[in-house]
Amino acid sequence: MSGSTPFYQKHHRHYDRGYRSKELESAVSQYQSSSSSSYAARRSSSRASASASRLSPMPKRAKPTYLAMDKENQIIGYVVPIFRGSHEYASGFSDTEEARVKESAGYMARRNLFTSGLEMERTEQTSRKVSMRESAERICLSKRIYENEEHHKRMNKDSLMHAPEFVIKPRSHTVWEKQCVRLHCTVSGWPEPRVVWYKNNVTIDPMAHPGKYKLESSYNVHSLEISRCDFDDTAQYRVSAMNSKGELSSFASIVVKRFKGEVEEALPMPRRKSEEYHFIYTLTYGITFDTHIVDGFGVSFGREGETMSLGATVIISPNLARYQPEVQWYRDDVLLQPSKWCHMHWSGDKATLTLTHLNKEDEGLYTLRITTKSKYETYSAYVFVRDADAEVEGAPGAPLDVKCQDANKDYVIVTWKQPAVDGGSSILGYFVDRCEVGTTHWSQCNDTPIKFARFPVTGLVEGRSYTFRVRAVNKSGMSRPSRVSEVVAAMDPADRARMRGTSAPWTGQIIVTEEEPAEGVVPGRPKELEVTEATKNYVVLSWKPPGERGHEGIMYYVEKCVSGTDSWQRVNTEIPVKSPRFALFDLAEGKAYSFRVRCCNSAGVGEPSEATEATTVGDKLDIPSAPGRVVPTRNTDTSVVVSWEASRDAKELVGYYIEASIVGSNKFEPCNNKPVKGTRFICHGLVTGESYVFRVKALNAAGLSECSQQSEAIEVKAAIGGGIPHASPTPPYGISVLECVRDSMVLAWKQPTFIGGADITGYFVDYREVINGVPGTWHEANVKAVSDRAYRVSDLKENRKYQFQVRAANMAGVGIPSLPSGTFVCEEWTIAVPGPPHDLQVTEVRANTLVLLYKPPVYQGRDPVNGFYIDIKEADAEEEAWRGVNEKAVLTNYMKIKSLKEGETYVFRVRAQNKAGVGKSSEPTEPVLAETKPGTTEIVVDVDDDGVISMNFACSNLTPDSKFVWSKNYEEITDDTRITVATSGEKSKATFNMPAEDDIGIYSCAVTHTDGACSSYTLSAEELKKLLELSHDHKFPIIPLKTELAVELQEKGRIRFWLQAEKISANGKIEYVFNDNSLSQGEKYKMNFNKDTGVIEMIMESLLPEDEGTFTFQLQDGKATNQSSLVLIGDVFKGLQKESAFMRKEWHRKQGKFFLGQLTRLSRWLVGNIKKETVALWYKDGREVKGDEKLTFTEGVLKLEIAQISKKDAGVYEIVLKDDRGQDTSTLNLTEQGFRDLMNEVFSNIANSSTALKIQSTDEGIRLYSFVSYYNEALQVTWHHKDAAIAFTDRIKSGVVGEQLWLQITEPTEKDKGKYAIEFHDGKGGLKRTVELSGQGETTAEAAAIAERSKVPFRTHLIMCDLVSLSQALNLTCNISGEPLPEVVWLKNEREIVSDGHYVMKFEAGKYASFTITTVNTTDSGKYSILVKNKYGTESADFTVSVFSPDSKK
């Protein structure tokens, strides 16, 4: 037994102890010796024990222990107790039988686990019969144990369910090529776990590689066999076990070694590991390897869903056959591991990385690193991944980088990054989907889209594993889903940590026993409750479990309370949560809440935790501000380097997206689809020779910022030398000393004359010591750039001499240093007066004025500075020409200098004073020319219609880098509480939020990167008062009135209320109010508003008692308003009412009555009491119409005749009779129902005038017709055949010609026989005319019609002229025959033509009809017809006349 190997190693032919370490060899030898010595004793004792257990009763239950021991009291495992209730479950066994079976099954399982391998190694010989009997017994016992366990699992699932555990884990192997290897493991868990094998995180599919892999599973033992291993099988293998309670993985590595020479597959002769190490060490000792990466990969572009391979050839010298360097791939400096998304391969001289399914997560800088013993080499290139085509046009791109955080039992937070492409419209939000591992069903987690790129997913099932994905949505549709997240298990973090730890001690065996539960304990208060995240969509709480909670698990109830109240409301009333995390949704945005948590178990609900502080619902994270100025510089023929200023005060910044657009296209495309965190990016894939502009957006979880301002256009071409062109600033100058102490000096200098096209970001100061006139070595005074033009150089030596130089830096780099300054001695200043002011700047230069800015001296002297003096002189004047500008010292750091001479050049200097006197003057400014430059503009103060006061400044000389900078008292405004600044294009506006005395001061606006564009405005107390008054007038304007509301009496006692506005527009509106009630136009009130004169009036026919009160006219014209009121109550009202009634009575007394009544609906009235002077006027809808020119009052009847009545004649008709006695009026309403009744009377008259229905034979067939005395287009007629309405077709048609109504039947058949009728509709009963079409030969009416066919009129030789020019004559002729002599009618546009001087119509000799237009004009164009009829029928012909001008083109 001492020389045998364990069974799980003997089955592997490649096994060799030489591959084991010394510690492993020692452990195996001890295990083998102990196993062989105790094997016989354990076998005999196991048989005796099994026999005894079947014959003897169950012994008394011993105190449970958590250690499992063998007969020699050696610990072989540990026991995990399972707590269950005291009640019995239906198992089919009694207490003693059940316990006995369990004990027997447990012992036999342990014996079988640890002795089966040893039995296989027994060297003693047994007979075939004994061996078969023992094998049968083992199989039978294993079957009984398995069936018993399955029975108990089915009877008590909940208490036995647990996550998968590896009892035996797979072990790593090292094999030679062409050998076989097997990995195996033992897994426990209930429900039975599903086991999957992976190679480098890619699922192994035996069907995809027939004969290569073999998977087996039997009684929880799972194995993977790999046949004929080759070098590609060298990998990390993972076995994953998963059930509903969780998932667990175990790892093992297989290394396949190459052997130089022939190897017999059955008997491999590998070198021992110590020899292998010695060989490699000897081979590489003292050798220096040179590594060169050639044929590398370049910048690559791919699209989502595609496959991409990156590769490079590696040359290592000297070339050793067995030497393999370390090959590593990085993306954005993060080491890549083999997975299903990326495969790595090394062939000995070429490294390859394959991205199997591109996603935007794969975008980034890829680096290949080859490491040898002596050094390493790297090679890098960028990979860009564009969005796949959207499934819906206009949909956004897919989100990216979906990750799971803070996973717990039923809760996880899902985060992602927003896409760069929004599809042309803003993204409305995102949907989160989840999928349980092992299924393919995706379910949506949120009902409404969320805009925040972070979402808590609740409602997970404990122990199950999930993956997540995210989709974006805009108004066009849904994006493609993102790449799925990593698998995450819904379980307690502590349990997850335990599962990732080591297995059970020694053998890893777990023995499950049962134990009575402890007495129930009500859990205590949860601890450390806090709000970890708050947005407007949800709030996340977290806490720690209580210390007092008993042995059973606990759950939680969450309660909320609106701040300021004591009403606590339970949030999760139905299902308590298991995790110490909870997300609350549906909270009112803007409200403040407090929260607390209670624990619960079977013993009850515990006390609540301490309540949280009041939390206001709303987004705590703001969208980042737009990035600053964008500067592009040339790089290569297809790329541009883009730099930008970072977003200010951005919180939790994720990165930036860069967009590019060809100049003039106004179409921006993303340069990167994965956010970059720096402020510099190389945009590849551009078109050589095209000009581009760029812009940048920042993003965080709250969303994407506004776009930065567009950069200056740049043409894509290679820079000189292939690098970035020099754009650093020129050197500063004018270095001076502002203060000096024992060991430091404060220096000042002037800004460079050329800043290099970009703002200066800082300065660097260097110094050197001068000893005996010999300068020393330069030393850096500051490592970090300083933004001010003054700096204190420290760590100097007293009484030593120093020189200084300064360099300026911008985004392009650090410029060259200035010339060395003069030599300064480092000695402490002790003078009483202050030092020199510094940093003098001249601004707002005009022809006669300018503003000088300066900073106070650093050295104050013995007393604080209390004023400044400004000196001036002409630039070319002598030093003695300096003169003072101000006689009295000024306290401010600025001064406006006036009375300059236009065209003169000046220089200025400043001196500071304190109590001791006036100090040293500053360095003079550069010469300044007093002139007003062309295009100079000033600040304009404006008050808009809403009363908002603003200052506006425009500049037409902007550059792409220009900015408007607003200042108050020449200090930049950074706080927007008082003033809000908005810039658009070439204009900038500074708006006062709430103008008050705090806003008094001097406001200025300067434009950077221009030739000194600047202006200022002084807001004094008097100016502020005027602006406030003007603002009030604009905000609350008043319509001026010429007269207030007044009342007067008119004829017939009418009451007129009126007023006149001085100025009101045509858009003005009037509201008439009586006792707070609005009045409207009607019979009682007649309103009128004359917009030309501004007179507004309201007329009432009379005053009733209820009209006593207050009348008000309310005027509104835009925002301007006004009103005027008149009070009519008491004696005033009664007096006006009495006078109105008297005037109306007197007027009626003087009048006579004209109208006696209306005779008919056809506009006829019976009149009386008239004279010869009486005049009658007819009106329709308020417009006068023509009636009887001569009134025949003898009949006492007035009438108005309407010819060809139609819908346009509907309306209200009015007749007015008047003479010197007055007038009388009568009306007739012919609208709606009145007009319908009138038309029904007309239709009734037409129907009664119709002739009997007749039949006529024509060339085409049979025609039925009837004549009426008058035809109206609105008349409704229905033709019937056999009492059914006829459906008209191309064969059966109806129509009207003149006064003839006809029905034409073309090519009649037998089906057309029967009774025909024409029905006239008059709104009442109607009228029908009928005829019978029988077809009985010559005796029928139609036969008579055929006999008289020759008598039907017809026409021949119609001469037509379709096109005729102006001023010509047109003549048409037609031959006509018929008996009796037919009647001829000419029509134009279906209206009868009357013969006059223009139209001449003749019918001569009963045969020749002619039609002549004497002088043709454009009005003669139209459709003409000739209608010929007698009693036997009607014939017609149509033609069209078009008139053209001779000058027009044909």
pLDDT band at 354, cuts 50/70/90?
A: very high
pLDDT band at 722, cuts 50/70/90?
A: very low
C-alpha separations of 593 from 513, 557, 574, 611, 1197 in Å? 48, 16, 21, 10, 87
pLDDT value at 1331 more than 60? yes
Tally the residues of the chain.
Answer: 1450
Phi first, then psi: what are they for 1347, rounded to 5°? -65, -30
pLDDT band at 1362, cuts 50/70/90?
A: very low
Strand, coil or helix: 1310: helix
pLDDT band at 10, cuts 50/70/90?
A: very low
Strand, coil or helix: 629: coil
CB of 145 within 8 A of CB of 151? no
C-alpha separations of 1218 from 64, 196, 1223, 1228 in Å? 127, 110, 4, 18
Write the DSSP symbol of residue 1038.
B
Task: State the pLDDT at residue 1449.
Answer: 44
Paired tokens of 278: 């010695």
Task: State the pLDDT at residue 575.
Answer: 73
- C-alpha 1361/C-alpha 1379 separation (Å) is 29
pLDDT value at 1241 more than 60? yes
- C-alpha 149/C-alpha 1319 separation (Å) is 96
- C-alpha 608/C-alpha 613 separation (Å) is 15
pLDDT value at 843 more than 90? yes
Task: State the pLDDT at residue 462.
Answer: 82
Task: State the pLDDT at residue 952.
Answer: 95
Task: State the pLDDT at residue 1179.
Answer: 84
pTM of the complete model? 0.38
Task: State the pLDDT at residue 1219.
Answer: 72
Rounded mean pLDDT, 1137-1154: 74
Please compute, for residue 1036, the number of CA atoms within 13 A of its CA located in the half-sphere on the CB side. Answer: 4
Rounded mean pLDDT, 94-115: 54
Question: Which residues have a Cβ under 8 Å from the Cβ of 572 and sit 6 or more positions away?
Answer: 557, 558, 582
Please compute, for residue 1279, the number of CA atoms within 13 A of its CA located in the half-sphere on the CB side. Answer: 21
pLDDT value at 267 more than 60? no
CB of 1291 within 8 A of CB of 1306? yes
- C-alpha 544/C-alpha 540 separation (Å) is 14
pLDDT value at 309 more than 70? yes
Paired tokens of 432: 């989160």
Task: Please state, as a whole number, how many other Cβ atoms lie within 10 Å of the Cβ of residue 1387.
Answer: 17
Strand, coil or helix: 99: helix
- CA proximity to 804, closest of 786, 814, 792, 813: 792
- CA proximity to 741, closest of 632, 831, 820: 831
Question: 128-155 and 95-120 are packed helices; what angle lies between their axes, rounded to 10 degrees?
Answer: 140
Burial 295-332 (b: 16+ CB within 10 A, else e): eebeebebebeeebebbbebebeeeeeebebebbbbbe
- The reply to whether omega before 318 is within 30° of 0 (cis) is yes
Task: State the pLDDT at residue 906.
Answer: 95
- CA proximity to 847, closest of 930, 937, 905: 930
C-alpha separations of 713 from 488, 633, 634 in Å? 48, 10, 11
pLDDT, tens digit (0-9, with 9 covering 90-100), for 496-535: 655 554 433 333 333 444 444 445 688 888 888 888 888 8
What distance lies between CA 982 and its chain's CA centroid?
Answer: 25
pLDDT, tens digit (0-9, with 9 covering 90-100), for 382-409: 999 999 988 888 899 999 999 998 888 7
pLDDT value at 813 more than 80? no
pLDDT value at 591 more than 60? yes
- C-alpha 1402/C-alpha 794 separation (Å) is 125
What distance lies between CA 768 and its chain's CA centroid?
Answer: 58
- Is residue 138 exposed (0-12), middle (13-18) or buried (19+ Cβ within 10 Å)? middle
Task: State the pLDDT at residue 870.
Answer: 95
Paired tokens of 233: 């099988």
Task: State the pLDDT at residue 1195.
Answer: 52
pLDDT value at 1130 more than 50? yes
Task: Please state, as a whole number, how many other Cβ atoms lie within 10 Å of the Cβ of residue 1165.
Answer: 21
C-alpha separations of 146 from 158, 361, 741, 1387 in Å? 19, 48, 93, 110
pLDDT, tens digit (0-9, with 9 covering 90-100), for 762-796: 999 999 999 988 899 999 998 888 988 999 999 99
Paired tokens of 459: 């409602």
- C-alpha 315/C-alpha 379 separation (Å) is 13
Strand, coil or helix: 838: strand
CB of 457 within 8 A of CB of 468? yes
- C-alpha 524/C-alpha 554 separation (Å) is 10
C-alpha separations of 1091 from 1079, 1095, 1096, 1119 in Å? 20, 7, 8, 18
Question: Which residues have a Cβ under 8 Å from the Cβ of 607 and sit 6 or more positions away?
Answer: 524, 525, 598
Task: State the pLDDT at residue 2.
Answer: 40
- C-alpha 616/C-alpha 620 separation (Å) is 9
- CA proximity to 628, closest of 572, 679, 562, 688: 679
- C-alpha 663/C-alpha 659 separation (Å) is 13
- C-alpha 682/C-alpha 668 separation (Å) is 16
Q: Is 1345 or 1140 the better-scoring residue by pLDDT?
A: 1140
736-745, 856-865, 1234-1243: which range is least confident on average?
Answer: 1234-1243
C-alpha separations of 339 from 198, 336, 353 in Å? 10, 9, 11
Question: 22-55 and 95-120 are packed helices; what angle lies between their axes, rounded to 10 degrees?
Answer: 140
Task: Please state, as a whole number, how many other Cβ atoms lie within 10 Å of the Cβ of residue 1427.
Answer: 20
Paired tokens of 1149: 């007394």
pLDDT, tens digit (0-9, with 9 covering 90-100), for 1373-1386: 887 877 778 888 88
Phi first, then psi: what are they for 122, rounded to 5°? -60, 135
pLDDT value at 49 more than 60? no
Helix or strand (DSSP H, E) at 108: helix 95-120
pLDDT band at 57, cuts 50/70/90?
A: very low
pLDDT, tens digit (0-9, with 9 covering 90-100), for 61-100: 444 444 445 545 554 444 444 433 333 333 344 455 555 5
Strand, coil or helix: 1191: coil
pLDDT, tens digit (0-9, with 9 covering 90-100), for 180-209: 999 999 998 888 899 999 998 888 988 888
pLDDT value at 548 more than 60? yes
Strand, coil or helix: 916: coil
pLDDT, mean over the chain: 79
CB of 311 within 8 A of CB of 297? yes
- C-alpha 1338/C-alpha 585 separation (Å) is 95
- Is residue 909 exposed (0-12), middle (13-18) or buried (19+ Cβ within 10 Å)? buried
Task: State the pLDDT at residue 101.
Answer: 53
> Alpha-carbon torsion 1008, 1011, 1013, 1014, what sign?
positive
Task: Please state, as a whole number, how many other Cβ atoms lie within 10 Å of the Cβ of residue 703.
Answer: 19
Task: State the pLDDT at residue 158.
Answer: 57
CB of 237 within 8 A of CB of 251? yes
- CA proximity to 1410, closest of 1429, 1424, 1431, 1391: 1424
First to last CA, the chain: 121
CB of 53 within 8 A of CB of 100? yes
Write the DSSP symbol of residue 603.
T
* Residue whose token pair is 């930036």: 656
